[in-house]
Amino acid sequence: MSTFKQLKSDNNLNEIIKSAFNTDLQLSGSWGYTQESATIITTSTVPLTQTQHKFAFMRAYTEMHMTLEEKERYGNINLNELHREQIVLKNLIYDKVTYQITAMKEDLYSTFIQAYKQGYGKDDFDMTEHFSQRKKATLTRVAVHWFEVHQVVKAT
Q: Say whether 132 sits in a helix, a strand or coil.
A: helix
Structural domain tally of the chain? Answer: 1
Q: Within a domain: residue 17?
A: yes
Q: Within a domain: residue 41?
A: yes
Q: Within a domain: residue 57?
A: yes
- Tell me the average pLDDT across 92-113: 95
Q: Note the pTM of the prediction, 2 decimals.
A: 0.89
The burial class, CB within 10 Å (0-12 / 13-18 / 19+), for 115 is middle
Q: Within a domain: residue 89?
A: yes
- Tell me the average pLDDT across 73-84: 96
Q: Within a domain: residue 49?
A: yes
- Give the C-alpha separation, 91 to 142, whole Å: 28
pLDDT at 1 over 60: no
Segments forming the whole domain that contains residue 54: 13-104+140-155
Q: Within a domain: residue 38?
A: yes
pLDDT at 100: 98
**Comparing 143 with 12, which gets the higher pLDDT?**
143
Q: Within a domain: residue 87?
A: yes
- Give the C-alpha separation, 8 to 104, whole Å: 24
Q: Within a domain: residue 118?
A: no
Strands (E), 4-138: 27-29, 39-41, 74-89, 92-105
